[in-house]
């Protein structure tokens, strides 16, 4: 009887421990997935965010110069060596909650910084916030730029601009609300710093063309799968507006670019793509804050400021604890270089979803056989079912997609930093 009871107790303990371990694994996995839902998973862009979901909310940064009309033909959006940027590089990126990137665009005399902070929790990935700031490279030269940020929703759900619409533009804070099956209900705030300086209104028809003190906006219904074409959508709209101004018989002289290339301030019914624009001169700062309604604690501009500072310090401490470079005798510049290398690797991680073209036809011929290269075999490429891919990428401008050959090398460093980053 004693032996029977002992066996029973041991079996009960084993089952209980198994259930506990499974529960722990499930909890850890859920927490990991929650902290990884949102990220800079659009590595081909200078800056953009998206969740690890097939069809959902995509966001991105666009800018161009307004000192001359030719700058419009050099809109910055996707990483392109032809843009001639001096630098675009993540300086710190922990892969989950924090990232800092600097971009130097001497052609437009502007140095940009993008800073990301996330606050996971609540069951829908939590909140995230981005601070985008800029300073002139040379204070003695013009530094006017058109700053734009867009939000596009694909798949099921809705998103709408809640500000009262004004044909002259919006004030210093923009608010969007939306809902999707995977993200739940959410709000987005785009807020500019009160110290931002607009270009001067010097044109005789300035009040009729555009109020440069306002945030300009444009909303359209865009087919699923076309949000990635944000730059082309913007160009099409602004070229159409430009042509209407030029063809207007009342236009006696061509207005400066800052008026020609301002958004029209209109939103079509059922829009799922919104882009916002502010003409800026000199130093500037904008905060973009995504708030999930299920998040227990919301991010705001104040918590973003303090959070970025603490996360930056945590990154430095964790980097030293993981790699011990200072302990090994490396100096500050060498450690900075190492942090930049690792951060750019992690900043190149992307989430992709879609079909691939694969030829799975099989040949058992040996390529060493004499007839191998002369035998004719008709190609049989076929589309695969849609699949998700979460991967590092070899190059943001040249190869911003997964590459099996390189991924093993990527994982050597990523695994050392965060082995659960998957």
Question: According to the model, what pLDDT value does residue 34 have?
Answer: 84
Determine the pLDDT at residue 79.
98
DSSP calls for 54-88: SS-EEEEEEEEE-SSGGGGGG-B-B--GGG--SEE
At residue 230, the pLDDT reads 98
At 29 the pLDDT is: 46
Question: What is the structure's pLDDT at 170?
Answer: 95
Nearest CA to 159 out of 286, 52, 265, 290 is that of 290
Distance CA 120, CA 127 (A): 6
Q: Taking a C-beta distance cutoff of 8 angstroms, is the pair 258, 161 a contact? A: no
H or E element, residue 33: helix 2-36
CATH says 39-311 is which class? mainly beta
- The whole-angstrom separation of Cα 129 and Cα 134 is 17
Give the pLDDT confidence score for residue 20 in this predicted structure: 36
Structure tokens at 83: 């843009």
Residue 255 is predicted with a pLDDT of 83
Average pLDDT per run of 10 along the chain, which is 422 residues long?
A: 45 37 41 84 98 97 93 94 96 98 97 97 94 97 95 98 95 94 98 90 62 95 96 95 83 82 95 98 97 95 98 98 98 98 98 89 63 65 93 94 89 96 84
> Per-residue DSSP letters for 86-105?
SEEEEEEE-SSSEEEEEEEE
Nearest to 216 by CA among 250, 258, 269, 186: 258
């Amino acid at each position: 009887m004693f032996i029977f009871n002992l066996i029973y107790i041991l079996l009960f303990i084993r089952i209980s421990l198994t259930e506990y371990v499974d529960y722990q694994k499930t909890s850890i996995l859920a927490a990991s997935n929650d902290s990884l839902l949102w990220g800079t998973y659009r590595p081909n862009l200078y800056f953009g965010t998206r969740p690890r979901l097939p069809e959902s909310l995509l966001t991105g940064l666009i800018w161009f110069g307004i000192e001359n009309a030719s700058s419009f033909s050099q809109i910055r959006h996707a990483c392109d060596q032809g843009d001639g940027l001096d630098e675009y590089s993540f300086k710190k990126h922990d892969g989950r909650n924090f990232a800092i990137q600097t971009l130097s665009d001497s052609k437009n005399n502007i140095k940009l910084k993008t800073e990301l902070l996330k606050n996971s929790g609540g069951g829908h990935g939590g909140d995230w916030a981005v601070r985008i700031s800029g300073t002139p490279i040379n204070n003695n030269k013009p530094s006017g730029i058109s700053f734009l940020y867009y939000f596009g929703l694909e798949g099921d759900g809705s998103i709408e601009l809640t500000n009262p619409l004004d044909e002259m533009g919006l004030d210093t804070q923009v608010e969007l609300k939306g809902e999707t099956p995977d993200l739940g209900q959410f709000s987005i705030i785009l807020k500019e710093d009160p110290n931002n300086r607009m270009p001067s209104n010097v044109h005789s028809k300035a009040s009729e063309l555009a109020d440069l003190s306002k945030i300009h906006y444009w909303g359209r219904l865009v087919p699923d799968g076309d949000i990635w074409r944000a730059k082309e959508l913007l160009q099409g709209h602004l070229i159409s507006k430009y042509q209407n101004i030029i063809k207007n018989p009342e236009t006696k002289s061509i207005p400066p670019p800052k008026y020609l290339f301002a958004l029209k301030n209109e939103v079509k019914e059922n829009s799922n793509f919104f882009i916002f624009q502010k003409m800026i001169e000199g130093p500037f700062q904008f905060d973009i804050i995504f708030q999930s309604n299920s998040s227990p604690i919301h991010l705001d501009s104040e918590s973003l400021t303090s959070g970025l500072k603490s996360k930056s310090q945590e990154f430095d401490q964790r980097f030293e604890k993981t790699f011990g470079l200072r302990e090994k005798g490396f100096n500050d510049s060498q450690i900075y270089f190492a942090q930049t290398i690792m951060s750019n690797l992690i900043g190149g991680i992307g989430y992709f979803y879609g079909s691939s073209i694969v030829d799975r036809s099989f040949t058992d011929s040996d390529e060493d056989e004499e007839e191998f290269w002369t035998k004719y075999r008709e190609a049989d490429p076929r589309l695969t079912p849609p699949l998700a891919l979460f991967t590092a990428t070899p190059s943001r401008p040249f190869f911003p997609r997964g590459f099996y050959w390189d991924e093993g090398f990527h994982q050597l460093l990523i695994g050392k930093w965060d082995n659960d980053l998957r």
